[in-house]
Amino acid sequence: MDVQHTYIRNFSSHTADTVTVKGWVSNIRFSKTNIFIDFRDGSGFCQVVMSQDVLGEERFEEAKKLTRESSLAVSGTLIADERQLGGYEIQANSFCVYHIAVDFPIKANETEHGVRFLEDNRHIWLRSRRQWAIMRVRNQVIMGIHAYFQDNGFVQMDSPLFTGNAAEGSTTLFETDFFGEPAYLAQTGQLYGEAMAMAQGLIYTFGPTFRAEKSNTPRHLAEFWMIEPEMAFFDNDMNMSVIEGMVRSVVSRVLEKCETELKMLDRDTSKLQFAAEPFPRIKYVDAVKILRGELEINGKNAIALQEEDLAHAKALIEQHTAEIAEREATIKGGVKKGIRKFNEQKIAALQAEIKELEEQVRNIPNWIESAKNFVDGEDFGGSDETVLTRVFDAPVMVHDWPAKIKAFYMKEVDGNPDYVKGVDLLAPEGFGEVVGGSERETDIDVLVKKIEEHKLPQDVFEWYLDLRRFGSVPHSGFGLGLERLVRWICNLNHMRETIPFARRYGRLNP
């Protein structure tokens, strides 16, 4: 690629003294003879200094007209400076303005805005540091997934987005008009993936998926990107090995390639460094026992841990409240403005934290009740996943689920047809289900029986049944939610930040 200017990310390999960069003003500070610009060019961030001494009075006056998000090209001397983010600073010799931006609505500190305002302004919110970092991580997650599968001999396939029927019969689908016939936007490509796996052996899909449920939660989108590998001659244990291998590979790639981004996101990366031993694999029946506090893991009791968390949250609230009172007393005592401001900021931060803690104090008792009274045979709720994963340090794989709460195509556990060989990967820190998969039923008679039991129309599955008529083999696969993985790795409290333009219940624009 041949370009005339330099990208900030390439500064470390840049040899000449002078550079030309093209980009935008992220933030700007004026002093009498210097202007300091937080400059961004898409590839990174760098401080640009414009001095009256260097530029001359006339050009310096021009530079004073720059505003946040104005666009410009700058040529100048590249100076290594450890104090600056990225380790460099540019002393400008000349500059050329493309456009002066007027009244950019988003503040330099995006956390001062409400979520509604930011999402309404998503098209320009994407420019903020935090969103820049998230999108960079997302990019590495995507490339990491491709790399893992490609390196292991998988073939990428695209499954259709229009389907003539609801595949699993359970979820609500978006209906569209397909030349006069009703058609639905795909909620999964799995059945097509199975067909392709019988042709290519190892395949994976990577594409958009649509769910029309009116889910209004931080972990649901109406349009999201799903990765669905399907492996011929793989049983569910091998399936779990693939899940673990892929997740480890992607997470370590992000840790390696996105150090700056994760730092910008203030991510505690120790939580993403898993021990060498395999991710715990626990059967559903044992997960239920752990949840009810009847089974301990490494001396950890799930219910007791929640009670500890609750007590801890309460103690922290008291501690913060005391600190706020103390700081308020300091302010009332009459202090210099700088000190007053400093204390006011601390108080605001503490109050925000208290708000979150109070949310926990409200929620945890419900979670404990829900976990204690969990009914064997039911599906886990969001809070149950949080309580369950709390006793582990790594992601957990829960397998061998009750047949009645899982899809028709899952293979029965040998000698125990009430359970099926499904597996869910639950991420730690309350992020919940990231992967759902299973070994598929291979016996056509069992499959036909299951289709009947699930009250699904057999005729639309005839092509799928053909896969069992001609060389049926054991095979497995899973679905990975890209945005859920990004959310967990970046430690985001909502899915709306994991994708450039979120499409979810109540949000279609911009």
**Closer of 32 and 332 to RNA (Cβ):** 32
Single out the residue of 271, 341, 404, 449 in contact with RNA (rule: CB under 7 A).
341
**Cα separations (Å) of 201 from 206, 207, 470, 501?**
17, 20, 15, 35
**CA 354 from centre of chain:** 25
**CA 302 from centre of chain:** 25
Whole-number minimum distance, CB 207 to RNA, in Å?
A: 12
Site for RNA in 275-294 (CB under 7 A): none
Handedness of CA 199, 205, 210, 216 (dihedral sign): positive
What is the spatial distance between Cα 266 and Cα 262, in angstroms, rounded to a whole number? 6
What is the spatial distance between Cα 367 and Cα 363, in angstroms, rounded to a whole number? 6
Contact between 382 and RNA by CB under 7 A: the answer reads yes
Site for RNA in 209-248 (CB under 7 A): 211, 213-221, 224, 226
Single out the residue of 150, 366, 416, 458 in contact with RNA (rule: CB under 7 A).
366
Site for RNA in 425-454 (CB under 7 A): 432-436
Residues in Cβ contact with 327 at an 8 Å cutoff, skipping those fewer than 6 apart: 343, 346, 347
What is the spatial distance between Cα 243 and Cα 237, in angstroms, rounded to a whole number? 10
**Closer of 139 and 363 to RNA (Cβ):** 363
**Closer of 202 and 226 to RNA (Cβ):** 226
**Closer of 67 and 150 to RNA (Cβ):** 67
**Closer of 84 and 249 to RNA (Cβ):** 84
Whole-number minimum distance, CB 343 to RNA, in Å?
A: 12
Site for RNA in 88-127 (CB under 7 A): 89, 91, 103, 105, 107-109, 112-117, 119
Neighbours of 279 (CB within 10 A): 19
Site for RNA in 20-49 (CB under 7 A): 27, 29-34, 36, 38, 47, 49
Axis crossing angle, helix 462-469 with helix 444-453, rounded to the nearest 10: 160
Whole-number minimum distance, CB 29 to RNA, in Å?
A: 4
Contact between 508 and RNA by CB under 7 A: the answer reads no
Q: What is the residue whose two structure tokens read 């009498």?
A: 32
Whole-number minimum distance, CB 13 to RNA, in Å?
A: 22
Residue 485 backbone phi and psi in degrees, to 5: -65, -45
Whole-number minimum distance, CB 340 to RNA, in Å?
A: 8
**Closer of 32 and 469 to RNA (Cβ):** 32
How many helices (H) and strands (E) the chain has is answered by 15, 17
Site for RNA in 169-198 (CB under 7 A): 170-171, 188
